[in-house]
Structure 1
Amino acid sequence: MELTVETESRLTTVDVTDRIAAGVPDDLESGTCAAFVEHTTAGLVVQEDEPRLRGDLESFLRDLVPDEGHAHDQLDGNADSHLRAALIGPDVTIPIDDGELALGTWQSVLLVECDGPRTRTLSVTTVGQ
């Protein structure tokens, strides 16, 4: 399954949990679900979907990776986005139990946009046991 996600700012998070969960087939009782963002300047993370924490995550990435001063900036000015996405990683794998994503109480899947606004593509694959 393929998902398209629109982002609205350069560095932001978007909760994609429900959209990924919708891709779990009705007849799949147990297995795994893998989600992969098909871009080098965005990532996926399992984290709490709480606005202040999402803001903290964005601030943390800004503090950790400066906006400017990278060699790749000579090409297209977005080295910070690549570096931030490299820290996060492009994918998550989640168990499926009783036909649903087996996430903890406070866990959500967040797309972390590092070079927006953009249209992002996620591939979602499920495998049964």
Structure 2
Amino acid sequence: MFRKIIHLSTRREGEIIDLTPRVVAAVRESTVREGQVHLFVQHSTAALTTIEYEPGALADLVRALSVLAPDDAEYAHNTKWGDGNGRSHVKAALVGPSLTVPVAGGELCCGTWQQIVLLELDANAGRERSVICTVTGE
């Protein structure tokens, strides 16, 4: 098993960061040829998923999440804590904190148009984020 923490800084809510090159580098560093890589973001207002990393698809994702958890809705979290990021927690819970990708021949098994991304969802961004990258296999 190989574990690496990917550290990154975000600037704003709605930012989508392509993690694919960093994950590819971690898989190569691990020397695992056949197995899987598991990613877990250690924050409740960020999420991980895959998407075609192009402006239209990214804008569509941001828009879809804003429909599911609108900025102007009332959130009990905001009432309790006063930090204004209730929607951020809801969006992160909907997308999820983890992702697993197969590894074959020492390479990620992502599709041609599929990239691994971190979604910065915190209304109070920029943040320092940590993604635990665990590679297992042979």
SS at match of 2:53: coil
Alignment of 1:1-129 (within 5 A): 1-24=4-27, 25=29, 27-67=31-71, 68-74=73-79, 75=81, 76-115=83-122, 116-129=125-138
* Superposition deviation, residue 89 in structure 1: 0.2
TM-score (norm 1): 0.95
Cα distance in 1 for residues equivalent to 2:41 and 2:121: 12
Q: Percent identity?
A: 39
Aligned-residue Cα RMSD (Å) equals 1.1
Contact 2:30 2:135 in 1 (8 A): no
Cα distance in 1 for residues equivalent to 2:64 and 2:6: 27
Q: Runs of at least 4 residues of structure 1 off by over 3 A? A: none
Contact 1:26 1:99 in 2 (8 A): no
Aligned residues: 129
TM-score (norm 2): 0.89
Instruction: Structure 2: give runs of 5+ residues left out of the alignment.
Output: none
Q: Which has the higher helix share?
A: 2
* Superposition deviation, residue 21 in structure 1: 1.2
Cα distance in 1 for residues equivalent to 2:64 and 2:30: 38
